[in-house]
């Protein structure tokens, strides 16, 4: 099949291009890109793409799968469909399933389940169908530790041989001796390792960023130091050992400062924040919507500004989605008692575009880079430029299309989002993978 996308806005952070082009896609490959293409075969399907945006497929650094163990929250099938519907052609799942992904047999089992995810294209429907093919590519993080207490390392070399994308627990590791041992052991394996720095003793029973809003809303606070002291300790170990590290879920302005200083000193680190931490601050929690109970919690307005500036400057390398599905029953309880997390794969691009690009705070290239080529680089991967004859790993996005966030318009099985029932502007039209 050959398709001509006429006068589509191509946003290519790899080639630093943002402009109008005609693009020909044939049998899963980019065949031609030019300002105008008129010499086409008679069987070419012509598509008027004025007003649409074409960019490299988005890459999500880390998200949660319900399967195995919590299939009522999310299956691999629904996860991959939601990812494709949100423009993500690659998704990397965290190992905190049940059982935990801590052995090669489970990695192989999950890899075998990702049927249908090896190529093709995906067009989201107005009413999602469970039969629609999942086309995002699934990658799997391997667990660092075996036990809940986080005291014993997994067989990291065996997991590396099994094909995991890298190593993380997706939860705080407070045993610094273990972290040091992991960094030493992983040096020759050449796989990414990601840590979520958070001091759980300082976090205690907190559910909201410390400050005047926490006092006003009567919610237990979490101090900034719960994150920053853990980041400082991790940076000291990286400086001593030299193993490259990715820092997950950065949420405070002081953390951005620490990471900027460490990068200026030449430490081999990358960092990410999540999409919701770029959009909302503590004032949003006044609704007590449990989908705003996140861990780390939403920051104050100064944190949001620093995170946005950090992404634009490259101090924060990537925007992660951290899609965390929960059932209705799990989330319908008091704010402080609810599990932390929210869905986001189908919502992130429209909302980030609306509130960061359309407002002029981010350029389209800056946002697309933070969602595609930069997260891939954090994993030691590459995203191809939009040039022939590269394989077509692409996302077509309509910034003006409006739609309502509701059960029938989502592929994910869960609905824990603060935007449920609201009209959004911007939706992915198609992905190629």
The 10s digit of each residue's pLDDT in 69-88 is 999 999 999 999 999 999 99
Q: Which domain holds residue 309?
A: 57-384
Active-site residue, from 102, 281, 322, 398? 322
Region 125-154 average pLDDT = 73
Could you tell me which residue, 264 or 133, shows the higher pLDDT?
Answer: 264
Would you say residue 335 lies in a domain? Answer: yes
Region 290-313 average pLDDT = 98
Q: How confident is the model at residue 117 (pLDDT cuts 50, 70, 90)?
A: very low
Across 39-56, b (16+ Cβ under 10 Å) vs e yields ebeeebeebebeebbbbb
Biggest alpha carbon–alpha carbon distance for the chain: 67
pLDDT computed for residue 433 by the predictor: 87
Distances, alpha carbon 237 to alpha carbons 242, 269, 378, 428, in Å: 8, 12, 19, 41
**Sign of torsion, CA 38 44 50 52?**
negative
Would you say residue 18 lies in a domain? Answer: no
CATH of the domain at 153: 3.20.20.140
pLDDT computed for residue 129 by the predictor: 47
Q: How confident is the model at residue 130 (pLDDT cuts 50, 70, 90)?
A: very low
pLDDT at 310 over 50: yes
Region 93-115 average pLDDT = 90
Q: What is the pLDDT of residues 248-280, one digit of tens each?
A: 999 999 999 999 999 999 999 999 999 999 999
pLDDT at 120 over 60: yes
Q: How confident is the model at residue 187 (pLDDT cuts 50, 70, 90)?
A: very high
pLDDT computed for residue 53 by the predictor: 98
- Our measurement of the distance from residue 217's CA atom to the centroid of its chain's CA atoms, rounded to an integer in Å, reads 29
Beta bridge partners of 431: 122, 395
Would you say residue 276 lies in a domain? Answer: yes
Would you say residue 194 lies in a domain? Answer: yes
Distance CA 269, CA 165 (A): 17
Region 375-384 average pLDDT = 97
pLDDT computed for residue 150 by the predictor: 66
Distance CA 91, CA 97 (A): 15
pTM of the model: 0.96
Tokens for 229? Answer: 């002291």
Would you say residue 10 lies in a domain? Answer: no
Q: How confident is the model at residue 177 (pLDDT cuts 50, 70, 90)?
A: very high
Would you say residue 75 lies in a domain? Answer: yes
What's the half-sphere exposure (Cβ side, CA atoms, 13 Å) at 255?
A: 33
Would you say residue 137 lies in a domain? Answer: yes
Region 137-154 average pLDDT = 86
Q: Is 295 assigned a catalytic role?
A: no
Region 196-209 average pLDDT = 98
Would you say residue 231 lies in a domain? Answer: yes
Domain tally, the chain: 1
pLDDT computed for residue 328 by the predictor: 95
Q: What is the pLDDT of residues 17-52, one digit of tens each?
A: 999 999 999 999 999 999 999 888 888 999 999 999
Percent of the chain at pLDDT exceeding 90: 90
């Amino acid at each position: 099949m050959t398709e001509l996308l006429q006068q589509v806005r191509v946003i290519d952070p790899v080639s630093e291009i943002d402009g109008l082009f005609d693009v020909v896609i044939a049998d899963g490959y980019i065949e031609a890109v030019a300002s105008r293409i008129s010499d086409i075969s008679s069987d070419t399907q012509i598509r008027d793409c004025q007003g649409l945006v074409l960019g490299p497929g988005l890459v999500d650094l880390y998200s949660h799968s319900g399967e195995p163990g919590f299939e009522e929250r999310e299956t691999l099938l629904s996860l991959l469909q939601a990812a494709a519907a949100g423009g993500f052609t690659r998704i990397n799942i965290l190992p905190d399933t049940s059982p935990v992904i801590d052995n090669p047999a489970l990695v192989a089992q999950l890899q075998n389940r990702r049927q249908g995810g090896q190529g093709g294209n995906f067009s989201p429907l107005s009413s999602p169908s469970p039969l629609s093919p999942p086309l995002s590519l699934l990658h799997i993080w391997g667990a660092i530790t075996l036990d809940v207490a986080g005291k014993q390392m997994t067989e990291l070399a065996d997991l590396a041989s099994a094909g995991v994308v890298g190593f993380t627990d997706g939860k705080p590791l407070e045993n610094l001796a273990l972290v040091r041992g992991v960094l030493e052991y992983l040096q020759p394996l050449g796989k990414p390792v990601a840590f979520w720095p958070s001091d759980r003793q300082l976090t205690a029973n907190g559910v909201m960023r410390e400050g005047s809003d926490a006092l006003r809303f009567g919610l237990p606070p979490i101090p900034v130091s719960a994150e920053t002291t853990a980041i400082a300790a991790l940076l000291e170990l990286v400086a001593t050992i030299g193993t490259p590290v990715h820092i997950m879920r950065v949420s405070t302005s002081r953390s951005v400062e620490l990471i900027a200083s460490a990068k200026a000193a030449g430490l081999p680190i990358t960092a990410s924040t999540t999409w919701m931490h770029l959009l909302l601050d503590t004032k949003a929690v006044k609704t007590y919507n449990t989908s705003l109970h996140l861990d780390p919690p939403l920051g104050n307005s100064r944190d949001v500004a620093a995170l946005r500036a950090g992404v634009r400057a490259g101090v924060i390398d990537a925007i992660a989605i951290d899609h965390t599905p929960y059932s209705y029953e799990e989330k319908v309880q008091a704010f402080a008692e609810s599990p932390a997390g929210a869905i986001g794969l189908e919502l992130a691009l429209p909302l980030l575009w609306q509130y960061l690009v359309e407002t002029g705070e981010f350029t389209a290239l800056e946002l697309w880079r933070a969602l595609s080529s930069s997260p891939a680089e954090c994993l030691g991967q590459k995203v191809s430029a939009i040039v022939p004859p590269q394989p077509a790993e692409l996302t077509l996005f309509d910034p003006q299309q409006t739609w309502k966030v509701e059960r029938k318009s989502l592929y994910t099985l869960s609905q824990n989002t603060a935007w449920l029932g609201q009209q959004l502007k911007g939706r992915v039209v198609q992905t190629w993978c």
